[in-house]
Structure 1
Amino acid sequence: MVQVSDDSPVAGKLIAEIQLRTLTGASIVGIERMAEGANVINPGVSEELKAGDTVLLLGTEGQIVEAKKVFGG
């Protein structure tokens, strides 16, 4: 899991825009949105990533490490 911080380069972008799977091989399989009290399971590419979201990633250990870098971590 990775947190989308206020200053994350992915905050406010659509999943399609960040091209996470293409860049890292990892996939976003869930989003926990505490501000709205909602969970998004298997989000589509048109889902916006928002500051405060906790994103569940799926991939190998190396893919997850690279994906966290995309999120600014």
Structure 2
Amino acid sequence: MKEIISSMAGTVLNVMVEAGDEVTAGQEVCMLESMKMEIPVESQDAGKVVDIKVNIGDFVNEGDVLVVLE
């Protein structure tokens, strides 16, 4: 399993993937908002989405798991 983690604290604005989706390295999977800035979160690896750990509106901290890939 590979985990996509948040690089900073912020609020989840959008989740661009669903369970079962195939993602490629560099693909945006979430959009966070921090200090009025939108920060895209990209997958570091290719894989299949097996779990999404956040919902739109959730507050996340740096290091929190956002998406799990297989």
Q: Same fold (TM over 0.5)?
A: no
Question: If each structure's strand is expressed as a fraction of its own residues, which one has the higher value?
Answer: 2
TM-score (ref. length: structure 1): 0.30
TM-score (norm 2): 0.31
